[in-house]
Structure 1
Amino acid sequence: MRTSLNIPQEVLDAFDETWKAEGMESRSRAVREAIQEYTERHTQLEAIDGDAVATIAFDYEHTLVIGNLHTVQHDFEDVINTMQHMHHGDWCLETIFCTGSAARIRELVYHLRDFDAVGRVNVMFLQPVSDQE
Protein backbone atom coordinates (compact mmCIF):
# COMPACT_ATOMS: atom_id res chain seq x y z
CA MET A 1 0.00 0.00 0.00
CA ARG A 2 1.32 3.45 -0.86
CA THR A 3 0.87 6.35 1.49
CA SER A 4 2.05 9.93 1.85
CA LEU A 5 3.47 11.57 4.97
CA ASN A 6 4.54 15.09 5.93
CA ILE A 7 7.85 14.84 7.80
CA PRO A 8 10.24 17.71 8.60
CA GLN A 9 13.32 17.46 6.39
CA GLU A 10 15.76 17.22 9.31
CA VAL A 11 13.81 14.30 10.77
CA LEU A 12 13.76 12.50 7.42
CA ASP A 13 17.49 13.13 6.93
CA ALA A 14 18.28 11.65 10.35
CA PHE A 15 15.98 8.69 9.66
CA ASP A 16 17.66 8.03 6.31
CA GLU A 17 21.14 8.19 7.86
CA THR A 18 20.08 5.75 10.56
CA TRP A 19 18.56 3.04 8.38
CA LYS A 20 21.42 3.28 5.87
CA ALA A 21 24.03 3.00 8.65
CA GLU A 22 22.25 -0.15 9.89
CA GLY A 23 22.49 -1.66 6.41
CA MET A 24 18.76 -1.89 5.80
CA GLU A 25 17.69 -2.43 2.22
CA SER A 26 15.31 0.52 1.82
CA ARG A 27 13.48 3.40 3.46
CA SER A 28 10.22 1.45 3.05
CA ARG A 29 11.64 -1.44 5.04
CA ALA A 30 12.84 0.95 7.76
CA VAL A 31 9.43 2.68 7.93
CA ARG A 32 7.65 -0.70 8.22
CA GLU A 33 9.95 -1.65 11.10
CA ALA A 34 9.42 1.72 12.82
CA ILE A 35 5.65 1.36 12.51
CA GLN A 36 5.84 -2.18 13.91
CA GLU A 37 7.90 -0.99 16.89
CA TYR A 38 5.43 1.84 17.53
CA THR A 39 2.52 -0.59 17.37
CA GLU A 40 4.19 -3.02 19.77
CA ARG A 41 4.99 -0.24 22.25
CA HIS A 42 1.41 1.07 22.06
CA THR A 43 -0.02 -2.43 22.47
CA GLN A 44 2.14 -3.00 25.55
CA LEU A 45 0.98 0.33 26.98
CA GLU A 46 -2.63 -0.75 26.47
CA ALA A 47 -2.02 -4.20 28.00
CA ILE A 48 -1.11 -2.94 31.49
CA ASP A 49 -4.15 -3.19 33.75
CA GLY A 50 -4.95 -2.50 37.39
CA ASP A 51 -2.53 -0.57 39.59
CA ALA A 52 0.93 0.18 38.26
CA VAL A 53 4.18 2.04 38.85
CA ALA A 54 5.52 4.08 35.93
CA THR A 55 8.01 6.68 34.84
CA ILE A 56 7.11 9.10 32.05
CA ALA A 57 9.88 11.11 30.41
CA PHE A 58 9.18 13.85 27.89
CA ASP A 59 10.78 16.88 26.30
CA TYR A 60 9.09 20.14 25.37
CA GLU A 61 9.62 23.70 24.27
CA HIS A 62 9.25 25.58 27.53
CA THR A 63 7.63 28.86 26.44
CA LEU A 64 5.00 27.21 24.25
CA VAL A 65 3.49 24.77 26.71
CA ILE A 66 4.57 25.40 30.31
CA GLY A 67 1.22 26.87 31.41
CA ASN A 68 -0.68 23.91 29.99
CA LEU A 69 1.71 21.46 31.66
CA HIS A 70 1.10 23.03 35.05
CA THR A 71 -2.62 22.43 34.54
CA VAL A 72 -1.93 18.80 33.56
CA GLN A 73 0.14 18.31 36.71
CA HIS A 74 -2.80 19.41 38.84
CA ASP A 75 -5.33 17.42 36.81
CA PHE A 76 -3.32 14.21 37.29
CA GLU A 77 -2.13 14.70 40.88
CA ASP A 78 -3.94 11.45 41.77
CA VAL A 79 -1.22 9.44 39.95
CA ILE A 80 1.76 11.83 39.89
CA ASN A 81 4.02 11.24 42.89
CA THR A 82 6.96 13.46 42.00
CA MET A 83 8.59 15.18 39.05
CA GLN A 84 12.08 16.18 37.97
CA HIS A 85 12.75 19.03 35.60
CA MET A 86 15.83 20.08 33.64
CA HIS A 87 16.34 23.08 31.35
CA HIS A 88 18.40 22.93 28.16
CA GLY A 89 18.08 26.24 26.32
CA ASP A 90 14.49 26.68 25.14
CA TRP A 91 13.79 22.99 25.68
CA CYS A 92 13.10 21.15 28.90
CA LEU A 93 13.23 17.53 29.96
CA GLU A 94 10.67 16.37 32.49
CA THR A 95 10.42 13.06 34.31
CA ILE A 96 7.24 12.10 36.13
CA PHE A 97 7.07 9.24 38.62
CA CYS A 98 3.59 7.74 38.92
CA THR A 99 1.70 5.17 40.93
CA GLY A 100 -1.93 4.27 40.62
CA SER A 101 -4.39 3.16 38.01
CA ALA A 102 -2.69 2.03 34.80
CA ALA A 103 -5.64 3.44 32.86
CA ARG A 104 -5.15 6.84 34.48
CA ILE A 105 -1.38 6.79 33.82
CA ARG A 106 -2.11 5.85 30.21
CA GLU A 107 -4.52 8.81 30.00
CA LEU A 108 -1.73 11.10 31.22
CA VAL A 109 0.67 9.74 28.57
CA TYR A 110 -1.86 10.31 25.79
CA HIS A 111 -2.67 13.78 27.10
CA LEU A 112 1.02 14.77 27.03
CA ARG A 113 1.38 13.43 23.49
CA ASP A 114 -1.42 15.73 22.32
CA PHE A 115 0.68 18.91 22.79
CA ASP A 116 2.44 20.09 19.63
CA ALA A 117 5.27 21.63 21.70
CA VAL A 118 6.03 18.25 23.32
CA GLY A 119 8.64 16.37 21.34
CA ARG A 120 8.63 12.83 22.67
CA VAL A 121 6.81 11.06 25.47
CA ASN A 122 8.24 7.75 26.67
CA VAL A 123 6.71 5.62 29.39
CA MET A 124 8.18 2.71 31.29
CA PHE A 125 6.06 0.59 33.61
CA LEU A 126 8.13 -0.94 36.40
CA GLN A 127 5.61 -3.72 36.78
CA PRO A 128 1.95 -4.03 37.46
CA VAL A 129 1.36 -4.02 41.22
CA SER A 130 -0.31 -7.29 42.14
CA ASP A 131 -2.65 -7.85 45.06
CA GLN A 132 -0.70 -9.53 47.85
CA GLU A 133 -3.79 -10.91 49.58
Structure 2
Amino acid sequence: MDKQHTQRIGVSLPPKLLDKFDNMIGEMGYNNRSEAIRDAIRNYMLKNQLKDEGGDGVGVILITYDHHRRGVTELITDIQHHHISVIESSTHLHLDKNNCMELIIVRGEIREIQKIKNKLSSVAGVKQTELIITSTIR
Protein backbone atom coordinates (compact mmCIF):
# COMPACT_ATOMS: atom_id res chain seq x y z
CA MET A 1 0.00 0.00 0.00
CA ASP A 2 1.37 3.41 -0.98
CA LYS A 3 1.96 5.39 2.22
CA GLN A 4 1.48 8.68 0.31
CA HIS A 5 -2.15 7.73 -0.20
CA THR A 6 -3.00 6.70 3.35
CA GLN A 7 -4.16 8.72 6.31
CA ARG A 8 -3.28 8.06 9.91
CA ILE A 9 -6.24 7.90 12.32
CA GLY A 10 -6.59 7.26 16.02
CA VAL A 11 -8.88 4.69 17.61
CA SER A 12 -9.79 4.48 21.29
CA LEU A 13 -10.50 1.00 22.67
CA PRO A 14 -11.01 -0.48 26.14
CA PRO A 15 -7.85 -2.31 27.29
CA LYS A 16 -9.47 -5.78 27.37
CA LEU A 17 -10.77 -5.41 23.81
CA LEU A 18 -7.36 -4.25 22.59
CA ASP A 19 -5.65 -7.21 24.30
CA LYS A 20 -8.06 -9.64 22.63
CA PHE A 21 -7.57 -7.90 19.29
CA ASP A 22 -3.78 -8.05 19.59
CA ASN A 23 -3.89 -11.75 20.45
CA MET A 24 -6.22 -12.47 17.55
CA ILE A 25 -4.22 -10.58 14.94
CA GLY A 26 -1.03 -12.28 16.16
CA GLU A 27 -2.65 -15.70 15.73
CA MET A 28 -3.88 -14.70 12.27
CA GLY A 29 -0.38 -13.65 11.20
CA TYR A 30 -0.87 -9.91 10.74
CA ASN A 31 2.33 -7.88 10.96
CA ASN A 32 0.62 -4.93 12.65
CA ARG A 33 -2.69 -3.52 13.83
CA SER A 34 -3.10 -1.31 10.76
CA GLU A 35 -3.27 -4.29 8.40
CA ALA A 36 -5.86 -6.00 10.59
CA ILE A 37 -7.95 -2.85 10.97
CA ARG A 38 -7.87 -2.23 7.19
CA ASP A 39 -9.11 -5.79 6.55
CA ALA A 40 -11.80 -5.47 9.21
CA ILE A 41 -13.06 -2.19 7.72
CA ARG A 42 -13.06 -3.65 4.18
CA ASN A 43 -15.02 -6.71 5.32
CA TYR A 44 -17.50 -4.60 7.26
CA MET A 45 -18.04 -2.29 4.29
CA LEU A 46 -18.38 -5.16 1.81
CA LYS A 47 -20.92 -6.94 4.01
CA ASN A 48 -23.07 -3.84 4.40
CA GLN A 49 -22.58 -2.58 0.84
CA LEU A 50 -23.79 -5.88 -0.61
CA LYS A 51 -26.97 -5.72 1.44
CA ASP A 52 -27.69 -2.16 0.27
CA GLU A 53 -26.69 -2.38 -3.39
CA GLY A 54 -28.30 -5.64 -4.32
CA GLY A 55 -27.09 -7.44 -7.41
CA ASP A 56 -26.13 -11.08 -7.50
CA GLY A 57 -24.32 -12.94 -4.79
CA VAL A 58 -23.36 -16.36 -3.54
CA GLY A 59 -23.21 -17.46 0.06
CA VAL A 60 -24.38 -19.55 2.96
CA ILE A 61 -27.30 -19.16 5.34
CA LEU A 62 -26.58 -20.94 8.62
CA ILE A 63 -29.45 -21.68 10.99
CA THR A 64 -29.63 -23.51 14.29
CA TYR A 65 -32.93 -24.64 15.72
CA ASP A 66 -34.69 -26.87 18.24
CA HIS A 67 -36.07 -29.72 16.14
CA HIS A 68 -38.51 -30.67 18.93
CA ARG A 69 -40.35 -27.37 18.46
CA ARG A 70 -43.60 -28.20 16.73
CA GLY A 71 -43.59 -27.39 13.02
CA VAL A 72 -40.13 -25.82 12.87
CA THR A 73 -38.62 -28.42 10.53
CA GLU A 74 -41.58 -28.25 8.17
CA LEU A 75 -41.52 -24.44 8.05
CA ILE A 76 -37.79 -24.37 7.33
CA THR A 77 -38.29 -26.86 4.50
CA ASP A 78 -41.28 -24.94 3.12
CA ILE A 79 -39.32 -21.67 3.04
CA GLN A 80 -36.53 -23.39 1.13
CA HIS A 81 -38.95 -24.91 -1.40
CA HIS A 82 -40.57 -21.51 -2.00
CA HIS A 83 -37.15 -20.11 -2.96
CA ILE A 84 -35.84 -23.06 -4.97
CA SER A 85 -34.49 -20.78 -7.71
CA VAL A 86 -32.00 -19.26 -5.25
CA ILE A 87 -31.12 -22.30 -3.12
CA GLU A 88 -28.37 -24.48 -4.58
CA SER A 89 -28.27 -27.10 -1.81
CA SER A 90 -28.46 -27.62 1.94
CA THR A 91 -26.76 -29.77 4.55
CA HIS A 92 -28.32 -30.87 7.81
CA LEU A 93 -26.32 -31.57 10.98
CA HIS A 94 -27.50 -33.04 14.27
CA LEU A 95 -25.81 -30.96 16.98
CA ASP A 96 -27.20 -32.81 19.99
CA LYS A 97 -30.43 -34.54 21.05
CA ASN A 98 -32.42 -31.30 20.74
CA ASN A 99 -30.68 -29.04 18.25
CA CYS A 100 -29.91 -29.11 14.55
CA MET A 101 -27.98 -26.92 12.15
CA GLU A 102 -28.82 -26.31 8.52
CA LEU A 103 -26.32 -24.86 6.05
CA ILE A 104 -28.12 -23.51 2.99
CA ILE A 105 -25.99 -22.67 -0.06
CA VAL A 106 -27.54 -19.76 -1.98
CA ARG A 107 -26.85 -18.03 -5.28
CA GLY A 108 -28.86 -15.22 -6.85
CA GLU A 109 -30.30 -11.79 -6.14
CA ILE A 110 -28.83 -10.55 -2.84
CA ARG A 111 -32.12 -8.94 -1.77
CA GLU A 112 -33.90 -12.29 -2.32
CA ILE A 113 -31.25 -14.10 -0.29
CA GLN A 114 -31.69 -11.55 2.52
CA LYS A 115 -35.48 -12.15 2.44
CA ILE A 116 -34.93 -15.89 2.86
CA LYS A 117 -32.62 -15.29 5.82
CA ASN A 118 -35.18 -12.96 7.41
CA LYS A 119 -38.01 -15.48 6.93
CA LEU A 120 -35.92 -18.22 8.50
CA SER A 121 -35.03 -15.93 11.42
CA SER A 122 -38.70 -15.36 12.20
CA VAL A 123 -39.59 -19.06 12.51
CA ALA A 124 -40.43 -20.00 16.11
CA GLY A 125 -37.79 -22.46 17.30
CA VAL A 126 -34.97 -21.01 15.20
CA LYS A 127 -32.25 -19.96 17.62
CA GLN A 128 -29.69 -18.37 15.32
CA THR A 129 -29.33 -17.31 11.69
CA GLU A 130 -26.22 -16.02 9.96
CA LEU A 131 -25.77 -14.93 6.37
CA ILE A 132 -22.32 -15.04 4.84
CA ILE A 133 -22.40 -13.60 1.34
CA THR A 134 -20.14 -12.19 -1.32
CA SER A 135 -20.80 -10.68 -4.71
CA THR A 136 -20.80 -13.06 -7.65
CA ILE A 137 -17.39 -13.14 -9.29
CA ARG A 138 -17.58 -12.42 -13.01
TM-score (norm 2): 0.60
Distance 2:92 2:68 in 1: 14
Matched, 1:105 2:113: yes
Query: Which 4+ residue blocks in structure 1 deviate beyond 2 angstroms?
Result: 40-48
How do 1:24-35 residues align onto structure 2 when only pairs under 5 Å count? none
Query: Percent sequence identity over matched residues?
Result: 24
For structure 2, the residue ranges without an aligned partner over 5 or more in a row are 1-15, 18-43
Distance 2:49 2:74 in 1: 30
Q: What is the RMSD of the two structures over their aligned residues, measured on CA atoms?
A: 2.3
Contact 1:55 1:123 in 2 (8 A): yes
Question: Which protein has the larger Cα radius of gyration, Structure 1 or Structure 2?
Answer: 2
Deviates more, 1:75-84 or 1:44-53: 44-53
> Against the structure 1 CA distance between its residues 123 and 61, is the aligned structure 2 distance closer, same or farther, given a 3 Å change threshold?
same
For structure 1, the residue ranges without an aligned partner over 5 or more in a row are 1-21, 24-39
Distance 1:56 1:48 in 2: 19
Matched, 1:92 2:92: no
Give 1:29's aligned residue. Answer: none
- C-alpha displacement at 1:51, in angstroms? 0.7
Matched, 1:51 2:90: no
Distance 1:75 1:90 in 2: 26
Q: How many aligned residue pairs are there?
A: 94
